[in-house]
Structure 1
Amino acid sequence: MSTDYQKAREALGLRLRELRLNAPDGRLTGLQLAAILQWPNSSKVSKLELGRQTPTPDDLREWAEATGRPEAYDELASRLAGFESHIRSWRRTLANGFKPAHESLSGEIDRTRELWMWEESVIPGMVQTPDYARHVMTRYSELLSPASDIDEAVRARAKRQEWLYQPGHKLHVIMWEAALRSLICPPSVLAGQLDRLTGVIGMDTVELGVIPFTASMRIVPANGFWILDDRLVVAEDWHAELWLDDADNVALYLKVWRTLRESAVYGADAQNVINAARRALNAR
């Protein structure tokens, strides 16, 4: 992924390599450093230096000490803190249009086997119809940054959904009933979107749950987020998108998702909630 987040991780990797090559007692090879650190997997050194893995604070402290530069830890920790909760400003991200932003996330999804998603007020992008997606993007464009490539972005989002039809993939999605009823598009478009939802309930790669308005909630149904395997969380707010890959945050968001799941209904019960929203459109 060619994001600011990844660039920051690669820059930290270069700094780690510099410390290894310029150790006061002489340059260390990756194997030598791994032995000093007592890391059973020597490939971890190269992964960290190439920005393919995010170090923990303990990794950084041990690295600084092993390379004879313990005073470098504060600098390394500061770099890590700067991108563990990396903020991708919507205004900056969308400056080049919606399509590049979609392709950036699609690259991460392509190497993902299992997705957990929560949305409180909009149908998740992985199961959106093109018409619905177009209206959602248009609303964001009007608010954040006028875009001329919405149709291209809609096609990119539709292509991303090919992921659902590949063996070995699994999408676990929960949405609040509000997402089924929010008229951010014409009623006819929302009707088509709800029909699409009923069609994915039977897919073997999709587990779709809905939290009815009447359900008891253990936590507030707040902002939407995606969890990619056990390595990355993408959370959205009005001003920015957050990419979080430290273990503690991933574990927290999984806990939030599982807590929300306790209030969700599935199968025929989910279909009934969707059908009720669909009938309400017919009555308008």
Structure 2
Amino acid sequence: MTTDFQQGREALGRRLRELRGRRTQRELAARLGWPQAKVSKLETGRQTATPEDLMAWAKSSGHPAATEELITRLQGIEDRTRSWQRQLSHGHRPVQDALTIEYERSTMVRGWQGDMVVGMLQTADYSRAVFTQFAELQQSPRDAEHIEDAVRARGRRQDLLWQPGRVFHIVMWEAALHATLAAPDVLAAQLDRLASVIGLDTVRLGIVPFGAKLRIPPANAFWLYDERLAIVEDWHAELWLDDADTIALYLRVWDTLAASAVYGTQARRLISHARARFADLA
């Protein structure tokens, strides 16, 4: 999942080596006031440079005019790999707003989620629980104001479900129905919400049953916006991928997973089974 990002870091590292020229790593490290290990890691792509690192490198290597080029290269890497730490530094709201722009630009949105209910179909209480837990994990702002801003932003995006001309084809693994990410009454209400969207002309909701024959593992969550953008979720970052070959690969992945899903009455039956479990716990 991190291949493109790592290749970008390695390419940037090669450029840094070129700029170092005939100086040894030790000599450049001394000029910079850094440990030699940092110079080595940046040149081999084992550490991500900051803009300040690149400015200092360009100046100390005798190529201050290369600063803008280096920072542009870094931005190119980060545009594809958007770390959660950076994105969530001001809470979840900015992330939600950025995603809403992509939803608004799209007429066909395909989604795969294997471990929780997708954001477009979450209730406010479920979203609140998820945002709170992820904020704690990523050590980002988790006070009530930041969390509620994110909940409201996600809720506003869900208005798109009611706009004619859009299609949201969402596939989830059955495990997502059983994940106890919130209190039982919240989970029961969430499953009621899922059942209620089956039949909307803008939503196709498929569930991959536990016993379904799978041709590939039900791995990371991802979204496809028309055929122009794939957003893939990992623990450390979101990958925003827009090259044709990668889009084609994720379309094949999505088609393969969707082929194992059930819809309509069969999907309702799986949702009802999960809901009964949480009703017993409430």
Alpha-carbon distance between aligned partners in 2 of 1:182 and 1:224, rounded to the nearest angstrom: 15
Alpha-carbon distance between aligned partners in 1 of 2:198 and 2:230, rounded to the nearest angstrom: 24
**For residue 146 of structure 1, what is the aligned residue in structure 2?**
141
5 Å matches for 1:38-49? none
Misfit runs of 4+, over 6 Å? none
**For residue 274 of structure 1, what is the aligned residue in structure 2?**
271
Q: Partner of 2:193: helix, strand, or coil?
A: helix
Over residues 38-88 of structure 1, what are the superposed CA-to-partner deviations in whole Å (9 max), with x where a residue is unaligned? xxxxxxxxxxxxxxxxxxxxxxxxxxxxxxxxxxxxx9xx95994497110
Q: Partner of 2:211: helix, strand, or coil?
A: coil
5 Å matches for 1:47-196? 79=73, 82-83=76-77, 86-144=80-138, 145-148=140-143, 149-196=146-193
**For residue 219 of structure 1, what is the aligned residue in structure 2?**
216
One-letter amino acid of the counterpart of residue 195, structure 2 = T
The alpha-carbon deviation at position 136 of structure 1 amounts to 0.4
5 Å matches for 1:12-27? none
The answer to whether the Cα contact below 8 Å between 2:90 and 2:141 also exists between their aligned partners in 1 is no
The alpha-carbon deviation at position 283 of structure 1 amounts to 2.8
Segments of 5+ residues of structure 2 without an aligned counterpart are: 1-68
**For residue 30 of structure 1, what is the aligned residue in structure 2?**
none
Aligned: 1:202 with 2:191: no
Q: 1:136 to 1:142 in 2, by over 3 A?
A: same
One-letter amino acid of the counterpart of residue 209, structure 2 = P
**For residue 20 of structure 1, what is the aligned residue in structure 2?**
none
Aligned: 1:231 with 2:228: yes
TM-score if structure 1 supplies the norm length? 0.71
TM-score if structure 2 supplies the norm length? 0.71
Structural RMSD (CA):
1.9
Segments of 5+ residues of structure 1 without an aligned counterpart are: 1-74
Q: Partner of 2:80: helix, strand, or coil?
A: strand
Alpha-carbon distance between aligned partners in 2 of 1:263 and 1:139, rounded to the nearest angstrom: 30
Alpha-carbon distance between aligned partners in 2 of 1:223 and 1:258, rounded to the nearest angstrom: 15
Q: 1:84 to 1:98 in 2, by over 3 A?
A: closer
The answer to whether the Cα contact below 8 Å between 1:84 and 1:245 also exists between their aligned partners in 2 is no
The alpha-carbon deviation at position 150 of structure 1 amounts to 0.6
Structure 1 range deviating more: 192-201 or 101-110: 101-110
The alpha-carbon deviation at position 146 of structure 1 amounts to 3.0
The alpha-carbon deviation at position 93 of structure 1 amounts to 0.6
The answer to whether the Cα contact below 8 Å between 2:87 and 2:95 also exists between their aligned partners in 1 is yes
Q: 1:256 aligns with which of 246, 253, 258?
A: 253
Q: Partner of 1:204: helix, strand, or coil?
A: coil
